[in-house]
């Protein structure tokens, strides 16, 4: 990419890819990671991390995965795929990450394989951590209820895995509609955008990580980038990358505020017809600590004008899907009865491997132990008339 040579960069500093080499550990991200690590160390059941798109959730959890010691944790990361992910998909991918070479097609048998591998991890003195990135997809597919079966798994009266759900704010709203799962949440983390001080440090960090000089962004350009992006790292990356290209086209070795304005207009990411540079979707969080910085004299960003909120239309209740695994009891009790002396499982009408179903109500009058036939109903009605 020829414009990188203009600024003496060894690689693209603002690529929107989850590259750990560019990870910037702001106080916001550091605090979130410490809380998640504590939840894993204490074998907490369910943790939830939410934030607007582009705030850095994926890089956070991947950095956490790198930091979890292998001799202490068995860490797994799953990313659900819209339109493809279902209950069997979740179990199959999880089993493969645990080391199951040939995951069974039968759900009950597959759960048995997962349980055995989780028990082996526990016997080795380690703990399993399962992370779902883009977990709002599970909510959209109606699969949040499927996770309860995994959270129920225990061995020697201890939980076998900790689960982390990472997603957009809609994930929190979906969990509220799943009380049986929401009640199990042990930790909630909301990842906020970067404040102006840390947003400026983020830009500097990315340029230095690519072997460049932070002076390629003029002070006014940095201010304009922060104002336009409101501290969302993904937006900072997109704008900064296009800003540098604008300066390259103009034959300059540093980017100005005017380059930022042209880049923002071309991207149409934050277009506001009433403003020179469009406003972002949400204002940044205030500074979390009085850290000295050359950017502290930046003007405070104006508050966004109030926008009337339309009346909320209640969505119809979601259609409940049949749970793939039992949710209130350990689904592997029967599968491992020979080893642990636990009760046998109850199977559905299809035999072993079929999900257990609730009995459907039947129409008709019930007499004694069975359902009344048409003739018995006619006789009963005639007796009543004679009386």
Same domain, 35 and 140: yes
Same domain for 200 and 181: no
> The domain spanning residue 11 has which CATH number?
1.10.8
pLDDT at 322: 40
Domain extent, residue 243, equals 2-17+194-267
Confidence (pLDDT) at 2:
76
Provide the CA 264 distance to its chain's centre, in angstroms: 28
Let me know whether 62 and 200 are in one domain: no
- In a domain? residue 126: yes
Are residues 174 and 151 both part of a single domain? yes
Rounded Cα gap, residues 91 and 86, in angstroms: 9
Domain termination residue (choose one: 175, 190, 205): 190
Domain count, the chain: 2
DSSP for 80-134 reads --TTT--HHHHHHHHHHHHT-SS--SSHHHHHHHHHHHHHHHHHTT-EEEEEETT
Q: Are residues 131 and 60 in the same domain?
A: yes
For position 270, what pLDDT does the model report?
53
**In the chain, which residue ranges form alpha helices assigned H by DSSP?**
2-6, 27-41, 57-67, 87-98, 107-123, 136-140, 147-151, 170-176, 179-182, 196-209, 219-229, 233-249, 257-267, 337-340, 374-386
Q: How much is the pLDDT for 269?
A: 62
How many angstroms separate the CA atoms of 197 and 195, rounded? Answer: 6
Residue at a domain's end among 232, 252, 267: 267
How far apart, in whole angstroms, are the C-alpha atoms of residue 134 and residue 80? 7
- With vertex at residue 133, the alpha carbon angle to CA 130 and CA 137, rounded to the nearest 5 degrees, is 115
The answer as to whether 276 is a domain residue is: no
pLDDT tens digit at each of 387 positions of the chain: 678 889 999 999 999 998 999 999 999 999 999 999 999 999 999 999 999 999 999 999 999 999 999 999 999 999 999 989 999 999 999 999 999 999 999 999 999 999 999 999 999 999 999 999 999 999 999 999 889 999 999 988 889 999 999 999 999 999 999 999 999 999 999 999 999 999 999 999 999 999 999 999 999 999 999 999 999 999 999 999 999 999 999 999 999 999 999 999 988 765 443 333 333 434 444 444 433 443 433 333 444 344 444 444 444 444 443 443 333 444 444 443 444 444 444 444 444 444 444 444 443 333 344 444 455 545 554 454 444
pLDDT of residue 294: 36
Instruction: Specify if 123 maps to a domain.
Output: yes
Same domain, 123 and 141: yes
Same domain, 13 and 63: no
Query: Domain check: are 8 and 95 in the same one?
Result: no
Residues 186 and 46 in one domain: yes
Same-domain pairing of 208 and 186 = no
pTM for the model stands at 0.68
> What length does the chain have?
387
Same domain, 113 and 184: yes
| Residues 233 and 216 reside in one and the same domain | yes
For residue 121, what is the domain's CATH number?
Answer: 3.40.50.300
Residue 200: inside a domain, yes or no? yes
* Contacts of 142 by beta carbon, 8 Å cutoff, 6+ apart: 318, 319, 320, 321
Flag whether 178 is in a domain.
yes
Predicted local distance difference test score (pLDDT) of residue 383: 52
Whether 262 maps to a domain, the answer reads yes
């Amino acid at each position: 990419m020829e414009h990188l040579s203009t600024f003496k960069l060894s690689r693209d500093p603002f690529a929107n890819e989850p590259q750990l080499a560019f990870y910037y550990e702001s106080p916001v991200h550091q605090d979130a990671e410490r809380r998640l690590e504590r939840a894993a160390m204490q074998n907490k059941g369910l943790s939830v991390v939410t934030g607007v798109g582009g705030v850095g959730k994926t890089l956070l959890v991947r950095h956490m995965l790198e930091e979890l010691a292998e001799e202490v944790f068995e860490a797994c990361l799953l990313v659900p795929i819209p339109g493809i992910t279902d209950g069997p998909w979740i179990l199959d991918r999880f089993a493969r990450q645990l080391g199951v070479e040939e995951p069974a097609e039968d759900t009950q048998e597959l759960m048995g394989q997962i349980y055995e591998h989780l028990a082996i991890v526990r016997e080795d003195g380690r703990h399993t951590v399962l992370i779902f990135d883009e977990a709002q997809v599970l909510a959209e597919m109606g699969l949040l209820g499927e996770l309860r079966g995994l959270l129920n798994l225990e061995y020697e009266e201890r939980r076998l895995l900790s689960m982390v759900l990472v997603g957009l704010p809609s994930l929190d709203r979906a969990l509220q509609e799943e009380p049986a799962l929401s009640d199990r949440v042990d930790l909630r983390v909301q990842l906020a955008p970067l404040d102006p001080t840390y947003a400026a440090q983020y830009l500097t960090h990315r340029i230095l990580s690519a072997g460049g000089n932070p002076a390629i962004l003029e002070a006014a350009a940095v201010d304009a980038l922060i104002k336009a992006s409101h501290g969302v790292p993904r937006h900072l990356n997109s704008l900064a990358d296009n800003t540098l290209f604008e300066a390259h086209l103009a034959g300059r070795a540093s980017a100005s505020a005017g380059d930022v304005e042209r880049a923002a207009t071309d991207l149409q990411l934050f277009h506001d017809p009433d403003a020179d540079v469009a406003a972002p979707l949400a204002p940044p969080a205030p500074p979390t600590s009085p850290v000295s910085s050359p950017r502290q004299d930046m003007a405070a960003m104006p508050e966004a004008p109030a926008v009337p909120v339309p009346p909320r239309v209640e969505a119809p209740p979601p259609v409940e899907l049949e749970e793939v695994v039992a949710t209130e009891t350990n689904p592997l009790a029967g599968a491992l009865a020979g080893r642990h002396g636990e009760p046998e499982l109850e199977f559905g009408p299809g035999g072993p491997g079929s999900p257990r179903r609730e009995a459907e109500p039947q129409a008709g009058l019930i007499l004694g132990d069975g359902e009344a036939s048409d003739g018995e109903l006619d006789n009963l009605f005639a007796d009543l008339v004679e009386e």
